[in-house]
């Protein structure tokens, strides 16, 4: 960055930073040896100078790094009105990663937006002129009003992302557009729709985190995710579990940073994870390795399902928890929670067998299709490996499955994959005990939080636009016509699938507004770009279900130029539309509104900076008490059946699969999967120059040696990944770090950096649970011409 030499940032190069971070323990040990050299313990002049604290007298401010990898509490040192250093605060149990440290550089990055920009050239040209805020607000008011007058408030669409998990951004946007009358938005989750669609009905609630139990476990499966990157803030807990003698298994087509450290790396074909889990279930049932006592006491496995209706049988149709079972002691059908009964898991030989199945039998019917040989053929995992990990997991004293929004969810079978893993954990009794559990990306979900501003009820809700088919929906004006798009805390041009269609949509919408810190890929295709403040530039609070901490976000410095917070922008617009009173609240009052249900006070938060609301010994679903109405794991899912899917988790090969033998598979014979990088969270940080010295500076295409040789590709070649949706350009990394037949694409690269991998990703809609299918994408690769 141009300003580095002029600031008081420490004189530590970016490459040295990563090297230092990698050997922190060694550095600490070395520090203790200072004075043991030839000087006999006497400090030299240079050592005296080095010992001086360059940050003495600095003002200290606390905030948080919103990305999902940890929500590190950050500490900023401010000297002469500028941030001189950002580091992990004393409240964390590990150092902040490069992305956290980068927050200090972002506050004075010369590439930051400083004034509103109005497009002067074609969309995508990057031609803008600076305008005053008054002109920008006039334009927004005019365009909003024109949209309302011509096609109604539904023709205004607003979209948000995960660019900031603070409690002052998304809720305030929702409040503003609700007050406006109910603008439209999108439906479909890019990250963890599968977890929401499966864990909520089966276990009753999600975001109940097991991170405090990881090091107490002795068998951990990281299924389709890479905690060394996405759980970087506490990956040391996985390492400690292994140091204690535990086994760490990674299931992923890519040899990720986690797989490289794991005890074992299992490589399934993308999208086959549900079949793999069902094969494991078959083994644990066939070999009687499941926990029968836990299964009978804490799950609906013995509950009856009527063969004629396909519905669970209720004793009282008005009581959704009145499931019934067949009691082998009395040979009668009784309520599932009646004391002193012996419920049957299988009905063979009973009087109930002709009319009913148990949920256990329905699950086994799905698992029975996947014996080890069939699973090997479908999943590409040796049968012996499937059998071994099934037995090891079931027989482990304490075992966990780490899902953490894994890439296996971002497939056509993503919801079924989550469901089968939930079945496996519950049947084996690996839920609700120390060192056990399913690790969702959760934190404080059992601690209720409030909204900073009351969100009024919308009387006439707008139909939602499928996010994965956004381009088609806009071009076809189905389900509605969009006249104005307001985009914030996200970057659709890098994240949403089938980027060419997203681009066409942005070109068609008459007026696109993007609020961001940078001229992002989405901003390039906008009519008006609003400069917003970021971390350490605005006040707020983080009280998010992905963190164990409620954290105060303090303002340390002013944002660059004339940047404004999202709240300031909506507050001004609210005033112009006549409901400004709802937004004319002091920040302390809004923070207190968020905190009120938690029991944490603002005074306490100001004193401590952050308050942990999850006890170190917290165990989700403790002692097998689930969050469903029945307090049991309910395996049959009514919502799935209502949407036309099997109410029991199952597996069928996806529509887009390289082994289908159809025309698509012949044309594009390689699977592709997305992978996260250590330089960014989605597209955040990817343009930051500070990252370039130690991170990939261009998109890397990970390709197996055999696949590369067949295409005449060598390591370091410029290559093109392509299909009918579009092209993605990058540099080939050839080797054995990825399963043959699969190509790894890095997530988050900007249009200005050669374009996002989302240009090629699958935009299928609708799947069970509304899962994103980016990891169910077929492609071909060639050398750049």
Region 96-123: mean pLDDT is 93
Q: Based on the domain organization, do 230 and 372 belong to the same domain?
A: yes
Cβ 198 vs Cβ 637: under 8 Å:
yes
Is residue 464 classed exposed, middle or buried when 0-12, 13-18 and 19+ CB atoms within 10 A define those classes?
middle
Q: Based on the domain organization, do 284 and 395 belong to the same domain?
A: yes
In the structure, what pLDDT confidence band is assigned to residue 214 with cuts at 50, 70 and 90?
very high
pLDDT at position 24 is 32
Cβ 231 vs Cβ 404: under 8 Å:
yes
Query: pTM here?
Result: 0.91
In the structure, what pLDDT confidence band is assigned to residue 68 with cuts at 50, 70 and 90?
low
Which region among 393-397, 689-693, 763-767 has the lowest average model confidence (pLDDT)? 689-693
Distance from chain centroid for Cα 463: 25
Say yes or no to pLDDT of 38 above 60. Answer: no
**Residue 63, beta-bridge partner list:** 74
Region 437-462: mean pLDDT is 85
Say yes or no to pLDDT of 110 above 80. Answer: yes
Among 419, 440, 461, where does a domain finish?
A: 440
Count CB atoms within 10 A of the CB of residue 41. Answer: 8
Which region among 31-35, 610-614, 688-692, 719-723 has the lowest average model confidence (pLDDT)? 31-35
Q: Based on the domain organization, do 277 and 396 belong to the same domain?
A: yes
Among 71, 106, 141, where does a domain finish?
A: 106
Region 571-585: mean pLDDT is 96
Q: How far apart are CA 149 and CA 141, in angstroms?
A: 12
Q: pLDDT tens, 606-661?
A: 999 999 888 888 899 999 999 999 999 999 999 999 999 999 999 999 999 999 99
In the structure, what pLDDT confidence band is assigned to residue 701 with cuts at 50, 70 and 90?
very high
Is there a domain that residue 203 lies in? no
Is there a domain that residue 521 lies in? no
Q: Based on the domain organization, do 225 and 365 belong to the same domain?
A: yes
Say yes or no to pLDDT of 25 above 50. Answer: no
Cβ 65 vs Cβ 47: under 8 Å:
no
Is there a domain that residue 597 lies in? no
Say yes or no to pLDDT of 582 above 90. Answer: yes
Comparison of pLDDT for 457 and 94, the residue scoring more:
457
Q: pLDDT tens, 126-139?
A: 999 999 999 999 99
Q: Based on the domain organization, do 97 and 228 belong to the same domain?
A: no
Say yes or no to pLDDT of 385 above 70. Answer: yes
Say yes or no to pLDDT of 11 above 60. Answer: no
**Residue 684, beta-bridge partner list:** 681
- Residue 719's H or E segment, with its range, is strand 718-722
Q: pLDDT tens, 156-167?
A: 999 998 776 566
Say yes or no to pLDDT of 36 above 50. Answer: no
pLDDT at position 243 is 97
Q: How far apart are CA 744 and CA 339, in angstroms?
A: 53
Q: pLDDT tens, 517-549?
A: 999 999 999 999 999 999 999 999 988 777 788
Say yes or no to pLDDT of 593 above 80. Answer: yes
| Mean pLDDT value across the chain | 90
What string of DSSP letters covers 64-128? E--STTT--EEEEEEETTEEEEEEE-TTSSS---HHHHHHHHHTT-TTS--S-EEE-SSTTS--E
Q: pLDDT tens, 161-186?
A: 877 656 677 789 999 999 999 999 99
Which region among 64-68, 493-497, 568-572 has the lowest average model confidence (pLDDT)? 64-68
CA distances from 311 to 15, 315, 642, 646, 693 (A): 60, 13, 11, 11, 59
pLDDT at position 396 is 98
Say yes or no to pLDDT of 50 above 90. Answer: no
Is there a domain that residue 401 lies in? yes
Give the SS3 label for residue 341: coil
Q: Based on the domain organization, do 95 and 217 belong to the same domain?
A: no
Instruction: Give the DSSP letter of residue 23.
Output: T
Q: Based on the domain organization, do 425 and 290 belong to the same domain?
A: yes
Is there a domain that residue 64 lies in? yes
Which residues neighbour 295 within 8 Å (Cβ) at sequence distance 6 or greater? Answer: 301, 302, 345, 360, 426, 427, 429
Is residue 505 classed exposed, middle or buried when 0-12, 13-18 and 19+ CB atoms within 10 A define those classes?
buried
Is residue 440 classed exposed, middle or buried when 0-12, 13-18 and 19+ CB atoms within 10 A define those classes?
buried
Which region among 43-47, 152-156, 320-324 has the lowest average model confidence (pLDDT)? 43-47
Is there a domain that residue 536 lies in? no
Among 41, 71, 106, where does a domain finish?
A: 106
Region 72-100: mean pLDDT is 90
Domain containing 727 equals 663-783
Q: pLDDT tens, 671-682?
A: 999 998 878 888
Q: Based on the domain organization, do 279 and 406 belong to the same domain?
A: yes
Is there a domain that residue 584 lies in? no
pLDDT at position 391 is 98
Is residue 583 classed exposed, middle or buried when 0-12, 13-18 and 19+ CB atoms within 10 A define those classes?
buried
As for how many domains the chain has, the answer is 3
Cβ 371 vs Cβ 382: under 8 Å:
no
Say yes or no to pLDDT of 18 above 60. Answer: no
Say yes or no to pLDDT of 203 above 80. Answer: yes
Comparison of pLDDT for 711 and 31, the residue scoring more:
711
Give the SS3 label for residue 325: strand
Q: pLDDT tens, 347-367?
A: 999 999 999 999 999 999 999
Closest CA to 94 of 235, 238, 281, 287: 235
In the structure, what pLDDT confidence band is assigned to residue 53 with cuts at 50, 70 and 90?
confident
Is there a domain that residue 351 lies in? yes
Q: Residue 142 corresponds to which tokens in the numbers above?
A: 């005019």
pLDDT at position 617 is 87
Q: What is the CATH number of the domain that holds 732?
A: 2.40.40.20
Q: Based on the domain organization, do 232 and 95 belong to the same domain?
A: no
pLDDT at position 171 is 86
């Amino acid at each position: 960055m141009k300003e580095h030499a002029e600031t008081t940032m420490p004189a530590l190069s970016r490459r040295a930073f990563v090297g230092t971070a990698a050997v922190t323990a060694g550095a600490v040990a070395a520090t203790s040896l200072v004075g043991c050299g030839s000087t006999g313990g006497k400090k030299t002049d240079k050592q005296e100078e080095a010992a001086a604290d360059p940050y003495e007298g600095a003002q200290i401010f606390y905030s948080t790094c919103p990305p999902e990898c940890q929500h590190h509490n950050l500490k900023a040192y401010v000297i002469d009105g500028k941030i001189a250093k950002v580091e992990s605060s004393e409240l964390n149990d590990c150092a902040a990663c490069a992305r956290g440290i980068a927050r200090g550089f972002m506050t004075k990055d010369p590439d930051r937006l400083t004034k509103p920009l109005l497009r002067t050239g074609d969309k995508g040209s990057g031609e803008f002129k600076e305008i005053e805020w008054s002109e920008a607000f006039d334009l927004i008011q005019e365009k909003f009003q024109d949209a309302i007058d011509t096609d109604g408030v539904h023709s205004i669409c607003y979209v948000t992302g995960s660019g900031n998990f603070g409690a002052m951004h998304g809720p305030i946007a929702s409040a503003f557009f609700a007050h406006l009358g109910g603008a439209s938005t999108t439906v479909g989750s890019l990250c963890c729709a599968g977890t929401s669609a499966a864990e909520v009905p089966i276990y009753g609630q999600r975001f109940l985190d097991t991170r405090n139990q990881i090091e107490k476990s002795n068998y951990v499966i990281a299924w389709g995710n890479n905690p060394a990157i996405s759980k970087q803030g506490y990956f040391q807990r996985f390492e400690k579990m292994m140091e204690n003698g535990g086994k760490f298994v990674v299931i992923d087509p890519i040899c990720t940073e986690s797989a490289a450290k794991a005890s074992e790396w299992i490589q399934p074909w993308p999208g086959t994870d549900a079949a793999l889990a069902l094969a494991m279930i078959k083994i644990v049932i066939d070999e009687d390795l499941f926990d029968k006592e836990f299964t009978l006491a804490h799950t609906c496995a013995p509950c009856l399902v009527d063969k004629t209706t396909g519905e669970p049988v209720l004793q009282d149709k008005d009581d959704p928890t009145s499931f019934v079972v067949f009691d082998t002691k009395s040979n009668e059908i009784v309520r599932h929670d009646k004391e002193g009964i012996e419920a049957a898991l299988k009905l063979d030989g009973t009087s109930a067998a002709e009319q009913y199945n148990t949920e256990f039998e329905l699950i086994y019917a799905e698992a029975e299709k996947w014996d080890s040989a069939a699973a090997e053929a479908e999943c590409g995992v040796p049968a012996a490996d499937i059998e071994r990990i099934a037995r090891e997991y079931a027989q482990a004293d304490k075992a966990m499955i780490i899902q953490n929004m894994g890439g296996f969810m971002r497939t056509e079978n993503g919801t079924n994959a989550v469901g089968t893993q939930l079945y496996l954990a519950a049947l084996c009794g690996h839920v609700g005990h120390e060192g056990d559990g399913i690790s969702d990306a959760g934190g404080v979900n059992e601690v209720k939080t409030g909204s900073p501003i009351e969100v009024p009820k919308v009387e006439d809700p707008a139909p939602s636009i499928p996010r994965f088919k956004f381009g088609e929906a806009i071009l076809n004006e189905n389900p509605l016509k969009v006249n104005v798009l307001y985009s914030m805390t996200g970057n659709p041009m890098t994240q949403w699938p089938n980027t060419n269609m997203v681009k066409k949509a942005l070109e068609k919408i008459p007026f696109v507004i993007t609020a961001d810190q940078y001229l992002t890929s989405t901003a390039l295709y906008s009519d008006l770009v609003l400069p917003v403040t970021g971390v350490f530039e605005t006040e707020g609070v983080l009280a998010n279900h992905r963190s164990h901490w409620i954290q105060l976000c303090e303002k340390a410095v002013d944002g660059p130029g004339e940047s404004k917070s999202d709240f300031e922008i909506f507050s001004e617009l609210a005033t112009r539309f006549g409901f400004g009173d709802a937004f004319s609240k002091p920040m302390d009052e809004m923070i207190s509104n968020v905190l009120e249900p938690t029991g944490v006070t603002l005074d306490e938060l100001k004193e401590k900076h952050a308050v942990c609301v999850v006890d170190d010994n917290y165990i989700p679903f403790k002692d097998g008490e689930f969050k469903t109405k029945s307090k049991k794991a309910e395996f049959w899912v009514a919502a799935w059946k209502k949407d036309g899917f099997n109410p029991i988790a199952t597996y069928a090969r996806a529509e887009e699969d390289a082994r289908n033998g159809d025309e698509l598979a012949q044309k594009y014979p390689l699977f592709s999967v997305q992978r996260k990088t250590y330089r960014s969270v989605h597209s955040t940080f990817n343009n930051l120059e500070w990252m370039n010295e130690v991170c990939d500076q261009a998109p890397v295409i990970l390709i197996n040696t055999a696949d590369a040789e067949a295409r005449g590709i060598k390591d370091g070649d410029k290559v093109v990944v392509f299909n009918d949706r579009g092209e993605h350009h990058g540099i080939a990394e050839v080797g054995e770090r990825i399963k043959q037949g699969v190509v790894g694409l890095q997530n988050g690269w900007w249009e200005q950096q050669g374009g996002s991998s989302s240009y090629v990703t699958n935009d299928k809609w609708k799947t069970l649970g509304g899962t994103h299918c980016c990891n169910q994408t077929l492609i071909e690769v060639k050398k750049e011409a």
